[in-house]
């Protein structure tokens, strides 16, 4: 009984004091996150602040320079390649540009994870593919098409269908609305919400889109680029429900939320002037 209660209280994903450095460039510094099962988290921030790198640490694609990433209490660093591969079957990944295989049909793209497993008959695979297509609002006839024959929004939905095909416990979204018009952006946002309601899934969404940040998550975390922080400043400048974003008093959060470029533009101009003395 006590063990059962402890299991319920344990976060599904946990980031403990994680820092990531590539060569001499530090991208993440002392990041702390505890993500309960079923929570939808948006990681917000401008380009270059480490959002995608953080997401890749959650699946073991990037190994922290310091700190730990845990899945249901298990440190990813303690897993061998086979164990890590098995764990990744519990994740779904929606790539920024869908990352579909151009030479495959839509059916083959969605079925790819199932084929890799090899546990289902052709009839079962077809049934699962059609079910996921319907779930993301695509007609069955698209299964015969190639990715190049679909619009950007349709390709994004195919990517979501592929991420859902294995009924994952966690879905990671990398900029799911990039390049989409406002209507299709809202379609993707609504599909993410519907996915959460239909399936008890934990979602982590990396984005800089404020519509997504306001409408979709239970919680928002905003990161700030380390190049613009002092060594003793925390990289996480906001962590709370989306309804508190607009009331946040932190100047950096307000500027991002409101799209205010004034100070950032001045910093960029000052930086460009300082490089004018560099010769070639």
Question: Per-residue pLDDT tens for 141-171?
Answer: 999 999 999 998 899 899 999 999 988 999 9
Q: Report residue 81's pLDDT band, with 50, 70 and 90 as the boundaries.
A: very high
User: Residue 146 domain-assigned?
Assistant: yes
Asked if the model's pLDDT at residue 187 lies above 70, the reply is yes
Query: What residues are paired with 22 via a beta bridge?
Result: 25
User: Residue 270 domain-assigned?
Assistant: no
Q: Which two tokens stand for residue 126?
A: 């077809």
Q: CB-based contacts of 238: which residues, under 8 Å, 6+ apart?
A: 44, 220, 221, 222, 245, 248, 250, 253
Q: How many residues does the chain have?
A: 280
User: Residue 36 domain-assigned?
Assistant: no
User: Residue 150 domain-assigned?
Assistant: yes
Among 89-93, 119-123, 153-157, whose mean pLDDT is lowest? Answer: 119-123
| The pLDDT of residue 7 | 47
Domain count of the fold of the chain: 1
Report yes or no: 204 and 69 within 8 Å, Cβ to Cβ: no
User: Residue 258 domain-assigned?
Assistant: no
Q: Which domain holds residue 147?
A: 95-167
Q: CB-based contacts of 93: which residues, under 8 Å, 6+ apart?
A: 59, 163, 171, 172, 174
User: Residue 37 domain-assigned?
Assistant: no
Query: What residues are paired with 220 via a beta bridge?
Result: 42, 240
User: Residue 149 domain-assigned?
Assistant: yes
Q: pTM score, two decimals?
A: 0.86
Mean residue pLDDT across the chain: 87
Asked if the model's pLDDT at residue 48 lies above 50, the reply is yes
User: Residue 24 domain-assigned?
Assistant: no
Phi and psi at 7, nearest 5°, equal -60, -40
Q: CB-based contacts of 194: which residues, under 8 Å, 6+ apart?
A: 135
Question: Which of the two residues, 63 and 4, has the higher pLDDT score?
Answer: 63
Instruction: Determine the angle formed by the axes of helices 152-164 and 122-135, rounding to 10 degrees.
Output: 130
261-272 residues labelled b (16+ CB within 10 A) or e (exposed): eeeeeeeeeeee
């Amino acid at each position: 009984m006590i063990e059962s209660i402890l299991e319920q209280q344990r976060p599904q994903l946990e980031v403990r004091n994680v820092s990531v450095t590539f060569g001499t460039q530090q991208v993440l510094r002392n990041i702390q996150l505890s993500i309960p099962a079923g929570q939808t988290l948006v990681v917000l921030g401008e380009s270059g602040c480490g959002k995608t790198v953080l997401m890749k640490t959650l699946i073991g694609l990037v190994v922290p320079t310091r700190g730990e990433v845990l899945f249901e209490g298990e440190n990813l660093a303690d897993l061998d390649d086979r164990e890590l591969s098995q764990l990744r079957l519990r994740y779904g990944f929606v790539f920024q540009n869908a990352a579909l295989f151009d030479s495959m049909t839509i059916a083959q793209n969605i079925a790819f994870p199932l084929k890799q497993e090899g546990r289902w008959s052709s009839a079962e695979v077809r049934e699962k593919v059609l079910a996921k297509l319907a779930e993301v609002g695509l007609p069955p006839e698209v299964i015969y098409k190639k990715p190049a024959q679909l619009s950007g929004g349709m390709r994004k939905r195919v990517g979501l269908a592929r991420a859902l095909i294995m009924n994952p416990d966690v879905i990671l979204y990398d900029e799911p609305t990039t390049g989409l018009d406002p209507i299709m952006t809202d379609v993707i946002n609504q599909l993410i919400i519907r996915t959460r309601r239909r399936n008890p899934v934990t979602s982590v969404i990396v984005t800089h889109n404020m519509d997504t940040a306001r409408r979709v998550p239970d919680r928002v975390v905003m990161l700030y680029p380390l190049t613009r922080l002092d060594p003793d400043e925390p990289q996480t400048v906001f962590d709370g429900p989306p309804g508190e974003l607009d009331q946040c008093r932190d100047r950096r959060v307000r500027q991002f939320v409101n799209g205010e470029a004034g100070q950032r533009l001045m910093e960029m101009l000052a930086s460009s002037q300082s490089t004018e003395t560099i010769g070639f």
